[in-house]
Structure 1
Amino acid sequence: MNNNDFSNLGIKNEILKALNKLGFDAPTEVQEKVIPRILDKQDLIVKSQTGSGKTAAFGIPLCQMVEIEQRNPQVLVLAPTRELALQIKQDIGNIGKFRKVRACAVYGRHPVHLQERELKQRVHFVVGTPGRIMDHIERENLVLSDIRHLVIDEADEMLNMGFIDQVEKILDLLPEARNTYLFSATMPDKIEEICSKYMKESTRIEIESLIKVEDKIDQIVYLTEDRDKEGILNKIMQGYNAGSSMIFCNTRETVDKVADIVKKRGFNVQALHGGMTQRERTQTINSFKKGFVQFLVATDVAARGIDVEDVTHVINYELPFEKENYVHRIGRTGRIDNKGMAISIVSNKELIKLGMIEEYLGYPIQSKSLKELDELVLKSSKEPGLKRRRITKKDKSQGIQNEITRIRINGGKKKKIRPADVMGAIGSIEGVTSEDIGIIDIQDTCTYVEIFHNKGRKVYQALKNTSIKGKIFTVKEMKKK
């Protein structure tokens, strides 16, 4: 990466170092236009498609702007789904790693008391779904007095999911002396209404995709009877040389059924839907991101917020109920500079839906015959080894994680340990300074501390014989994720 590309936007060394480790190239268009304006404290209304780099567009400047020593949250990010909230938290943590920026994600179907405990610590960013954010506000777990920046991400999806009333309640409770940044792929009337009501002097930015969807993504339709969909899906998986692929269905029941069909055919597959626990969903998404799973069968809502750059194929086992969701689905492939393919299996009873989607797109989707699909299957049968392929993927956070060691100290709040005690003990080790110490997370019975610059082993060895508050605690070097 040419660091000057970001430093020319006013980004400082600690953030530049993280961007370098994350493998960021030159800024995307949305980053180039948004970063300087956030640094200049302008309210923004940004129309930009998913996959344009918008999380980094607000994450980079806000990680630079927060005051690290301040205890209460300074940035609130509203996201429509749990997955997106977790993704944003992870991205913020990576971007702000060397500034010691802490982000907390709060969302439904996760124990409130665990989130409450995290909110009681020093947290710079709180990222969450509107319902759970409101819950924590009402419980007085979330202090709003020092919020200086509000990000509303995927505002149109908030509207579609019925969260807009909650978003407005939160807006009414926030300090007036704040900046607001709204990001949306589309701008329905209700979103425009919110912008005019809560953002008096805002700058509008619209990012036009340089390459049209129809040029980046090859779209194909196979027309069939409803009862024949399973067989067609099997032929598609046999005939197309798919890498990481997503199969979309409309209900949890269909997702489970299709995942079972794919598994019985010998493919590496997992299901993703709202009926799973958050732990199961997170593990499934991580397995897909890392390439352990080739096919992910998902509902629309569960798939929101999944940021995977190299999805080669999107397969619509069923067309979505909403025409806009067709574009969201196929946008999972053909990201950044990659080409992609979207294949839809359409039954006779879905022809009206198909017509509405084509009208929305402004062009017809190419229809291919089942005979052509059979010929493709025959051709691919001569190329063995595709069925159980595992796709090796590069984890973009690995560059940062490789040089960070996490150490567990077997003493915490119950032993009255404070961050200053840990800083003092580690800072007394020869050759280690405060710049080498990352986030210190003090829990009831233990403390976790990050050590930068490949000094983890040195600190670990020294801590075995270094007292904290006059006592030697046992320590453990945690395995890298």
Structure 2
Amino acid sequence: MANHIKSQEDILQKLNIQVLNPMQEEAIPLIENTTNTILLSPTGTGKTLAFSLPLLTILDPESPDVQALILVPSRELAIQIEQVIRSMGSGYKVNAVYGGRPVSKDKIEIKHNPAILIGTPGRILDHFNSERFSKTSIQTLILDEFDKSLEVGFEEEMKAIISQLPNLNKRVLTSATQGISIPGFVRLDKPSIVNYLDKKTPSKLTIKTVVSPSQNKLKTLVDLVHHLGNAPGIVFCNLRDSINEVSAYLNRQNISHACFSGVMEQKDRERALIKFRNGSSQILVATDLAARGIDIPELKFIIHYELPRHEEEFIHRNGRTARVNSKGTAYILKWERESLPEFIKDVKGIDVSSKSSQKIEPKPQYWETLFISGGRKDKISKGDIAGLFFKQGGLNKDQLGNIELKPDCAFVAIPLSLADELVEKLSNSRLKKKKVRITVLES
């Protein structure tokens, strides 16, 4: 059951959004008033907001049950949507469940039914089969990044889930890919379609090539990073071995970075994103897993250290920059004897060699991330954490970076030079009624 339900105007004001984009303007009333909707729009155009705002208007604030189910292909996307909806401060309870973490955590979080449940198909089906909440109350189903869920092999799980939802009266399917095939089990009869994949809006993305004289492109990669002025960005690789190779070289060059790939434990992936978001890591070295469905700040650039094999992957990678109304650049790092695939045409080259006058010396890492062993379930707020670091830690406002609050822990960015001192000073302090352990978050 919800309290203090906010209007759309209040939510947009809280999110500091003055104007919705054309896709959102078209999609929101359609989703609100239509039984079946397909929303096709490029990565980074605000699809989550486009389906979340109308969803909040159709929920019943008096209902104690799960009313809406959002199925997603990845844990990262589940977490991102949960954070977006929570940030709206709507008054409705929302939870995300996903594989890679103990089911016991899920049980604690959904002991009191959320109005909106988000999850990966495998974990949602597990909860369905265990009868942990009523399924008859679920009336809205949102299949976000539906094509990706099919691509990674969730078709059978989604089929089993939908077959157990007898009272659905609204279905929304989203994708950033054109021409997706929708299986019959989705029962998406005569859908209304919002398609912004075909819209010829002026692109704010610039694509440039950077030529490496050597087949080993590591030195050229670092030259490019320095050329870009130490700004945050993603370096995309195709293989885990490439990520390891790039990471080792960046370590030798003292460039702060985090790695992100499907072979990593879920906890480690989440923490890599936390460090990237708060500035403790300048670079995220990642596979295509980072091309969609992760919550990171606006980026000015991405780098293709290795080119993807297909145009679709190239588009999704590039979608991490030049999002919505911002400009961005995708850099293609290529060996001088390497040919570009046919889907990449008319790109300009730039020189980032040591002879280039635009080279910028790297700045030392400023931020470090501290782990705090208490979170929302302990009634701890961001204000409590800030107060601890201001009053007992002696920090000023400029020395306290981003705070991320999780159900059972929190993470805070502070100056690297003060990390050890703050750990010694603040560990075993009390936040609310809980004595918390504070440590430096290891990479």
The list of structure 1 runs, each at least 4 consecutive aligned residues, that deviate by more than 6 angstroms after superposition, is none
Alpha-carbon offset, residue 13 of structure 1? 4.6
1:346 is paired with a residue whose SS is strand
The answer on whether the counterparts of 1:272 and 1:303 sit within 8 Å (CA) in structure 2 is: no
CA distance in 2: counterparts of 1:128 and 1:177, whole angstroms: 17
| Matching residue of 2:313 | 325
List gaps (5 residues or longer) in structure 2: 368-374, 381-406, 409-430, 437-443
| Matching residue of 1:366 | 347
Could you tell me the TM-score, scaled by structure 2's length? 0.77
CA distance in 2: counterparts of 1:182 and 1:173, whole angstroms: 18
Alpha-carbon offset, residue 164 of structure 1? 2.7
The answer on whether the counterparts of 1:155 and 1:184 sit within 8 Å (CA) in structure 2 is: yes
Amino acid in the other structure paired with 1:238: H
1:378 is paired with a residue whose SS is coil
Do the aligned partners of residues 118 and 49 (structure 1) sit closer, same or farther apart at CA in structure 2, a change above 3 Å counting?
same
Alpha-carbon offset, residue 70 of structure 1? 1.8
The answer on whether the counterparts of 2:176 and 2:197 sit within 8 Å (CA) in structure 1 is: no
2:267 is paired with a residue whose SS is helix
* Residues 53-452 of structure 1: pairs in structure 2 closer than 5 A: 53-95=46-88, 97=89, 99-191=90-182, 193-194=183-184, 198-208=187-197, 215-224=203-212, 227-347=215-335, 351=339, 354-358=340-344, 364-366=345-347, 368=349, 372-374=351-353, 378-381=356-359, 383-384=360-361, 386-388=362-364, 408=378
Alpha-carbon offset, residue 111 of structure 1? 0.5
Amino acid in the other structure paired with 1:120: K
Amino acid in the other structure paired with 2:41: S
Cα RMSD over matched residues?
A: 3.2
| Matching residue of 2:33 | 40
Alpha-carbon offset, residue 172 of structure 1? 2.2
1:63 is paired with a residue whose SS is helix
CA distance in 2: counterparts of 1:209 and 1:226, whole angstroms: 39
2:300 is paired with a residue whose SS is strand
| Matching residue of 2:395 | none
CA distance in 2: counterparts of 1:295 and 1:475, whole angstroms: 35
Superimposed CA distance per residue, residues 176-195 of structure 1 (whole angstroms, 9 cap, x where no aligned partner): 4420000111233523x449
Amino acid in the other structure paired with 1:380: Q
The answer on whether the counterparts of 1:247 and 1:317 sit within 8 Å (CA) in structure 2 is: yes
List gaps (5 residues or longer) in structure 1: 1-11, 359-363, 392-404, 411-442, 447-473
Do the aligned partners of residues 73 and 266 (structure 1) sit closer, same or farther apart at CA in structure 2, a change above 3 Å counting?
same
Do the aligned partners of residues 407 and 223 (structure 1) sit closer, same or farther apart at CA in structure 2, a change above 3 Å counting?
closer
CA distance in 2: counterparts of 1:58 and 1:380, whole angstroms: 44
| Matching residue of 2:392 | none
CA distance in 1: counterparts of 2:141 and 2:255, whole angstroms: 43
Do the aligned partners of residues 158 and 62 (structure 1) sit closer, same or farther apart at CA in structure 2, a change above 3 Å counting?
same
Higher helix share: 1
The answer on whether the counterparts of 1:72 and 1:143 sit within 8 Å (CA) in structure 2 is: yes
Superimposed CA distance per residue, residues 144-189 of structure 1 (whole angstroms, 9 cap, x where no aligned partner): 1111100011112223222233223322221244200001112335
Report the structure number with the largest CA radius of gyration: 1
Superimposed CA distance per residue, residues 412-444 of structure 1 (whole angstroms, 9 cap, x where no aligned partner): xxxxxxxxxxxxxxxxxxxxxxxxxxxxxxx9x
CA distance in 1: counterparts of 2:240 and 2:64, whole angstroms: 41
